[in-house]
Structure formats: structure tokens, C-alpha cells
Amino acid sequence: MNNNKGLPAIDSHRDLQIWIIENLKMVPVPEKAYGNFFEKHCYIILHVPQSKKATQEASSDLHYWIGKEASTEAQGAASTFVQHLKEELGDRTVQHREVQGHESECFHSYFHPGVIYRKGGLASDVKHVETNMYNIQRLLHIKARKHVSATEVELSWNSFNKGDIFLLDLGMVMIQWNGSKTSISEKYRGLVLTCSIRDRERGGRAQIGIVDDGVEVTDPTHIMEAVLGCRVSSLHAAVPIKSINQLQKANVRLYHVYEKGKDLVIQELATRPLTQDLLQEEDCYILDQGGFKIYLWQGRMSNVEEKKAAFSRAVGFIQAKGYPTYTNVEVVDDGAESAAFKQLFRTWTRELGRKKLDWTGKSIQVKLDVGKLHSQPELAAQLRMVDDGSGKVEVWCIQDSRRQPVDSKHHGKLCSSNCYLVLYTYQKLGRIQYILYLWQGHQATAEETKALHSNAEELDHLYQGALVQEHVTMGSEPPHFLAIFQGQLVIFQGSTGHHVKGQPACVPRLFHVQGTDGYNTRTMEVPARASSLNSSEVFLLVTAGVCYLWFGKGCNGDQREMARTVVTIISGNDKETVLEGQEPPHFWEALGGRAPYPSSKRLPEEATSFQPRLFECSSQEGCLVLSEVVFFRQGDLDKYDIMLLDTWQEIFLWLGAAASERKDAVAWGQEYLRTHPAGRSPATPIVLVKQGHEPPTFTGWFSTWDPYMWSNNQSYEEVVKSGVSHLGTESAISGITAEINNFQLSQWPGESRAGPPDLPAIKDSQDISEMELGPRVGGRSASTSISNSNSNSSSSSVSLVDSGSLPPERLRYQAVEDLPQGVDPTRKEFYLSDADFQDIFGKSKKEFYGMAKWKQQQEKKKLGFF
């Protein structure tokens, strides 16, 4: 890096690096403090994808974050540093402007299980997170949406409300208070953050208590009252969530930004739906997504000065529009656009020369290797094929609101006025799997569609919820659905298609054969008139005496071969091959005479380069609200969630095992398509996937997938029942509250009030129990010893004088007067746990005390225990 610009060294092998702006310089933040942000500072965050696939396709992301109390000088310095970093990093870097409390979803996706906003920020006050820090007393307001955030607030009941979670952090004791209006998923996410703070900042030693507002008074409640006082008034009502719904996000406008003389001109060009060709490489553009987010796109041939002014122009646009100052800004370069930016356009193609994947062409003309599809789910996902379609097939037609079985010899014959259920059974690595296709004809009635869904639910119940349900619209069948029928899928107009063959054709019927092999062919009946023809395609014209095979000049041999196969299904009449331009008079008579039709060669479809995107679904005032998870992984699928995975060609709705509102999932998928800024096709297949029954076409979009991940996953209720909320017996609680009351809170400056430095853990020689409180820390279980203090003690504090009962920082380099009560200053090391003793001294206590006395003293001096 260029040190003349004050830029730090960049570690190219780390995916995430963070710097704080301190004294107008970039100072690296310790990795263990990632996710903690001081309100009086600005930060710079750099994310560089590390996976092989990501480094080939994805851009880096460079953010500058503004704390709500950050000075103007710090903001200016952060902006300048970002500009210099961008120049050093190159054009494949997306820039973001973030404001506290209104960060982008990309920003939040870096920090699991959430971000913490910390008060203060003067250089003398800044202390990044240190493990085993107990001298603290603070109240965190946790908003436990999909992207969790926690803010330090005033230590008072006035800070509470009924709709959120609050964490009273007392160092060795942490109490999570759940508002009466919070959901199970919010309580669970709050608990995950609480456990993370315990493990990162307390070395896993702190005890956690749970208080549910409106439920019976518990032991942790008494501790809260000792700190906050008794509640004398009712709490604030739940604060409404100000989420941006999909209708607002769909309102996109594109502006051309250019200079005319000394004036800056911002000219509106287009509204939804936008097309990629509107962006010219020599210019810059602003894309306004409903005031929710502002994008500034920079063409590769635009001048350097325009690029340097990107953020200032975006901020000026925000001010001119009267948008909030915290409106998110994203600056993207030509060729390095983010997935979110690309999906605001109807189509987005890669640069010329990239390999195209086109299901109407020859991309899948070789025999599918089922073994590869099972062992390589990413291949199954890209091809949208769980196997080669050779499994068991059952078909039902919905008639009179009930499902009627269809004879196997008519399986491939569907009618546009009907709805069908197609159950496909296959094996993957010895395990039976199911896909239930819900096929809906264009002319099906609303009653038939409703009956289709209800019958699908009945089948799913019979199969104990194991069915993956894919909603398919006529004419938009996915590749695997076509493969099931081995090229013999024929869709008839009306509702009388099952018995066409062998019957006299009173009226000519025209069929369009689309496809090149058994994996991608469908045949659809179209209006029997000349204008339906196309020079690039193959058609079958069925008349009373003969069936014509019409081959357009632009069709290929594979198309013609498939037509010869399909014609035997449609008609038993004599066959006659007709080449375009050599049609007999009877051919045109059957079509009602000649008429113009498309005769130019059909160009291959452009291959789109949209990346998959994952969203959490929820509803607010009847409108769909989505929260995106960028850089998603399997761990982002929460059992309480309904998640939407958009792969562009399909919409997957993943239903967590404990998710509510499951019945709304399909409607949410339909609303997502209807309100999408790019004007998506409402016929895009929608796939319902239940937790534990994910097909490879879904799992293949994740970088890794562990099928056993959820086998031992506890629910929130199970975690709480296992012991998290039990802090001890009555006398133990009395010990803690007495210890708190002994401190003069008035001597603690500021709102965050650093708490009692000697707040003890609770032990009882008569009743010591251990409970597991979360993930393992440092290779050991993060367990806590819990019981009551000695009720006969004359002191209100509880002394920790047992061997192995104190953390290192309470003993190491401590003066005699600073040691906890009851500690022998000549034997400080005795009070370390066996594991801490081994880590620090490199030997066990038995080995240490077996050494000569002078050697013991020498090591104690060296290690800070003398």
C-alpha cells in the first residue's frame, strides 16, 4: 500500500479487515473486537472473497461506517481513505457508505451473530473487546431481526419496551429480558448474541439468566431490580418496525449524471423495468431505488474526476430529493456490479466471450451422469436436475376438486384447462426422496387451482411432510419436469387431450415441438393458423386425413428427430414431411390460408449472469418484507424462518421446522415475483422446501452443505429448559444482589457506568452443578458453576477462595490490595483453574508444586504471580 497516503498494509489472505479512524488515522481493530462499533468514531471495512469461486466472480466490498456522534473531521478522513484505498485496490471494488443504525444488508452479513453499538469513543475511552473483562455494568437494547443489532442505552427501566430484547450485562452475570411482544425467533437470536458476548468477552465464564416479561417473577428478576430499582410504571409499547416493503423497493428510476459547463446535470432516463443497454461505458448514472438506496454506476471509460466525486454526487442527490441523511449509498464500477444492482434490470449479461448455458440449445445433449448429480450438488443446481428423470412417476388430474389417477400410457398428455399433480420418487445415496409438481394450465379456473393446492397438502400429509413441492405453470416447465416424460410431454388446448389419438380430427390442430432431445422437449398445441409458424422451429399439423411434419428452414436435425418421435403420440394418421417453402395447397387450406410469420433465424438467448440471493421473509401490514443475507451459508437458515432463495430461473422457499406463517409461503413467492423491479415472469417456478428435505437443486447453491447439521440443534425452549435461566438458589441470588447494593452507583461516570469489578461467580460447597451454556470456548466446554453462597457468612459479598475458581486477570500482576477477598497473596497461582494453569505455566499444578521452591518463585515472578 502507498504509505504516503497513510494507508495500512492489506492482508490479501484475510476476508475481513476493519480499521477505526482515530486521530484522523486508520488504526487496525483487533479481530476479536469485530462487530463492536463506537458511536463517536468512523470505521473502514474491507471484505475480500477468499473462496476460489468467489475470487473469480465476486467483487471486493469497501465500506466506510459513520457513527451517529462521529465528528465531521472523522467523516471526511474516512471518505478520503476509502477513495485512496479504492485507487489502490482497483476497479473490482464496490464502495458503500454506511450510517449507524441504517447499514446495508451486505454490511450486516459480515457479523454473526450481530453488531454492537458502544457509547463513547474518545481516544482515551476506546477499549476494544478484551477476553475475561468483568468490570462492567451496562444495558444493551437488542433488536433481534434477521440482522441483529445491540445498542448501549441508559441503565433504567425507561429504556425498555415490550417489543424488543434487553440484556443487563453485569460482567459475571448476564440477564436477557424478553419483551412480551417478542417472537420465539427473536428470543433465540437474542440468546445467541448473549452467549457470543459471554464467550468472547468473559471467556465463557459468565452466568446467563432469562426473564420473560409478563411471566412469573424469577430469580434473575430480583437481580434486575437490585440494579434498576423496582418497576413503578408500565413499559413503553412495542416500537413499530420501519421496514421497506417490496412495493417501495420496486420503484426504481435511472438518472444520467453529467457536467454541462460548470453545472452538474442529473437527467431522468427511465423507470421500471430497466434494461442494461441504458448504461453507457463513458458515462455515470444514479439509480434511485425508491429512496431506500442510492446506487452510482461508473462506466469504465468515465473520467477519473467523475469517479472521485461519486460519493459527493450521491450525497448531493440525497439532499436534493429530501431523503434522510442516513440513506445508503453504493458505488459500483462497470464490470464489477453487485448482485443486488444487477437484479434491478430486466436482464444482465456477462461480457462477450463467456460460455452461455441455454436449455433450448445443445447444452445438455450428452447422457446425464446421475452419480455426478448426486455427488456434485452444485452441478444439479446449475442444471436444475436432481437426476435423469428415470425414477417412479405418478400423475393425478384434478377433477371435481379431487385428484383422479391418470393411466401411465397418458402420463405425458396434459390439458390447458386442467391442473395436475405429478409425484416423482427417486433415490439419492440410498435415501428415498420426493418431488411433487403442481402443474397449472393456463385455462384452469380459480376453483381448480385451489383444489390443486389442497390436494397437494393432503399428499404431503400422507408422506409425513417429506415432499418438495414445485409450482409449475404451463409453458414454463423446469428441465427436470420435461426429463420425467422423456421428450413426450404434449400439452393440448382445452380439456380433451387424453384421447386424441385415433379420433377423427374434425378441426385441424397445430402443435409446436420445442426441444432437441428427451431432456428438454415439450410439445404445445397452438392456434391453427399460419401466423403461429416460425422458420426456426418444427410444427405438426393434424388434419382429418394426414399429419404434416413441417420443418422450418432454420431448424436443425435434432429438432426434426424429436418431431418424428412426438408425432406418433399425437396422431395415428399418415405422416407427410413438408419443408418450408414446399407446402402443398391443402396445408395452407387447413391453416385458413397464408399469413406472415417470423421468418428470420432466431438468435440464441443471452446467458444471464445473475447470482443467487437469499432473503428472510416476513409480513408487515399485509405487505411482504425481505431481509437479504449476503454471502449466505447453511447456518443462515434458522428453524424459525421462512427463507427465499432466488436463483433467477426458480424461486425456492425454505420452511424452517418451527416457522410460523408457512401457509403464506407460496403467496410470498408470488408477491416477490410480481413486485420485483426487473419485471419478473409470474410463471417462474416456485419450489417449497422443508427443513431436512432439501434436494440437491437447492443445496447446490450453498458453498458447503452438512445434511446432519440440524440433527442435534436445540430449540430456544430446549436451551432455556436445559438450565440457562437458573442462576442459583435463593441465598445465591441474595449474595449477588447484596454485592450489587454495596456499590455506590453514583461514583460511576457516564451513562454506561462500568460496573462492580469484583462481582463474583456463585459457588456452594454443598451443591455445585454445571450446565452447558453454548459453544465450546478454546477447546473446552463453556460451563458455569452455579449454587448458593454461605448463608452464615457475616459478609454480604461471596468470596472466591477455592482452588480453580478465579480467572487469570483477577490474579496476574495484581497488587495485594486489588486481590479478591480471601485470596492468599503468596499463592495467587493456586486459584487458577487447572486448564488456565496449564495454559500459562505449561505444566500441571502437581508438576509445579513438585519443583524446588526457588524454581517456583522464579516462574511466578516471570509470569506475574509473585
612-628 pLDDT, tens digit each: 999 999 887 778 889 99
pLDDT range class, residue 655, cuts 50, 70, 90: very high
pLDDT range class, residue 125, cuts 50, 70, 90: very low
Give the ranges where 431-540 is alpha helix by DSSP (H). Answer: 446-462, 479-484
Residue 750 has pLDDT above 50, yes or no: no
Residue 132 has pLDDT above 80, yes or no: no
Can you read off the three cell numbers belonging to residue 356?
452461455
Whole-number percent of the chain with pLDDT over 90: 54
> What DSSP state is assigned to residue 608?
B
When pLDDT is averaged across residues 273-295 and rounded to a whole number, the result is 93
When pLDDT is averaged across residues 534-541 and rounded to a whole number, the result is 96
pLDDT at 804: 53
When pLDDT is averaged across residues 409-419 and rounded to a whole number, the result is 94
Cβ contacts of residue 108 below 8 Å, gap of 6+? 115, 147, 149
Number of H helices, E strands in the chain: 22, 36
CB 451 within 8 A of CB 431: no
- HSE-CB at 529 with a 13 A cutoff on CA atoms is 5
pLDDT at 765: 27
State the Cα–Cα distance between residues 25 and 7, nearest whole angstrom: 9
State the Cα–Cα distance between residues 248 and 250, nearest whole angstrom: 5
State the Cα–Cα distance between residues 774 and 325, nearest whole angstrom: 40
Cβ contacts of residue 464 below 8 Å, gap of 6+? none
What is the average pLDDT score of the chain?
A: 83
Give the ranges where 707-852 is alpha helix by DSSP (H). Answer: 716-719, 730-741, 834-841, 845-849
When pLDDT is averaged across residues 347-356 and rounded to a whole number, the result is 57
pLDDT range class, residue 241, cuts 50, 70, 90: confident
Least confident piece of the model among 47-56, 306-315, 791-800: 791-800
Prior bond of 273 cis (ω within 30°): yes
Cβ contacts of residue 728 below 8 Å, gap of 6+? 219, 736, 762, 764, 786, 787, 788
Residue 505 has pLDDT above 60, yes or no: no
pLDDT range class, residue 202, cuts 50, 70, 90: confident
> In sequence order, what E strands does 714-816 have?
769-772, 783-786
When pLDDT is averaged across residues 251-269 and rounded to a whole number, the result is 90
pLDDT range class, residue 760, cuts 50, 70, 90: very low
User: What confidence tens digit (pLDDT) does each residue in 549-558 have?
Assistant: 999 999 999 9
Give the amino acid at 497: G
Give the amino acid at 603: L
Question: To which residue does cell 413503553 refer?
Answer: 236
Residue 165 has pLDDT above 90, yes or no: yes
Question: Higher confidence at residue 858 or residue 269?
Answer: 269
Residue 653 has pLDDT above 80, yes or no: yes
- HSE-CB at 129 with a 13 A cutoff on CA atoms is 23
Return the closest-CA partner of residue 653 out of 691, 702, 709.
691
Question: Higher confidence at residue 823 or residue 24?
Answer: 24
Give the ranges where 229-266 is alpha helix by DSSP (H). Answer: 246-249
CB 760 within 8 A of CB 790: no
State the Cα–Cα distance between residues 49 and 31, nearest whole angstrom: 17
Can you read off the three cell numbers belonging to residue 546?
394426414
State the Cα–Cα distance between residues 1 and 104, nearest whole angstrom: 27
pLDDT range class, residue 864, cuts 50, 70, 90: confident
Cβ density class 388-426: b for 16+ within 10 Å, e for less: bbebebebbbbeeeebeebeeebbbbbbbbbbbbbbbeb
Residue 55 has pLDDT above 60, yes or no: no
When pLDDT is averaged across residues 174-202 and rounded to a whole number, the result is 92
Q: Roughly how many angstroms between the first and final C-alpha of the chain, as a whole number?
A: 45
pLDDT at 77: 92
DSSP strand pairing (36-38 vs 115-118): parallel
DSSP strand pairing (207-212 vs 173-178): parallel
Question: Higher confidence at residue 76 or residue 816?
Answer: 76
Least confident piece of the model among 24-38, 548-562, 677-691, 749-763: 749-763
Question: To which residue does cell 417462474 refer?
Answer: 684
pLDDT at 458: 96
Return the closest-CA partner of residue 143 out of 200, 189, 196, 194.
189
User: What confidence tens digit (pLDDT) does each residue in 775-832 have?
Assistant: 222 333 333 332 233 333 333 222 334 445 688 888 888 888 788 877 778 888 888 8
pLDDT at 621: 72
When pLDDT is averaged across residues 349-355 and rounded to a whole number, the result is 50
pLDDT at 38: 94
Residue 860 has pLDDT above 70, yes or no: yes
> What DSSP state is assigned to residue 720?
I
When pLDDT is averaged across residues 243-250 and rounded to a whole number, the result is 79
pLDDT range class, residue 53, cuts 50, 70, 90: low
Strand-pair partners of 295: 287, 330
Query: Mutual orientation of helices 834-841 and 853-863 as an angle, nearest 10°?
Result: 90
pLDDT at 846: 82
pLDDT at 684: 96
State the Cα–Cα distance between residues 339 and 61, nearest whole angstrom: 12
User: What confidence tens digit (pLDDT) does each residue in 100-121 have?
Assistant: 999 999 999 999 999 999 988 7
Residue 384 has pLDDT above 90, yes or no: yes
> What DSSP state is assigned to residue 236?
B
CB 495 within 8 A of CB 525: no
Query: What does each C-alpha distance from 630 to 49, 399, 445, 618 come to in angstroms?
Result: 12, 44, 39, 17
Question: To which residue does cell 422458420 refer?
Answer: 535
CB 496 within 8 A of CB 463: no
Question: To which residue does cell 429480558 refer?
Answer: 177
When pLDDT is averaged across residues 731-735 and rounded to a whole number, the result is 54
Prior bond of 8 cis (ω within 30°): no
User: What confidence tens digit (pLDDT) does each residue in 434-486 have?
Assistant: 999 999 999 999 999 999 999 999 999 999 999 999 999 999 999 999 999 99
pLDDT at 816: 80
**Ordered DSSP codes for 342-389:** HTTBS--BPPTTSPP--TTTTTT-SPP-HHHHHH-HHHHHHHT-SS-S
Kindly state the helix (H) or strand (E) to which residue 674 belongs, with its residue range. helix 665-674
pLDDT at 129: 57
**Per-range mean pLDDT, top range of 210-219, 503-512, 648-657, 829-838:** 648-657
pLDDT range class, residue 127, cuts 50, 70, 90: low
Question: Higher confidence at residue 465 or residue 713?
Answer: 465
Residue 256, burial from CB neighbour count under 10 angstroms (0-12, 13-18, 19+): middle
Give the amino acid at 323: Y
When pLDDT is averaged across residues 292-315 and rounded to a whole number, the result is 89
Residue 56 has pLDDT above 80, yes or no: no
CB 559 within 8 A of CB 515: yes
Residue 282 has pLDDT above 80, yes or no: yes
State the Cα–Cα distance between residues 765 and 865, nearest whole angstrom: 26
Residue 318 has pLDDT above 60, yes or no: yes
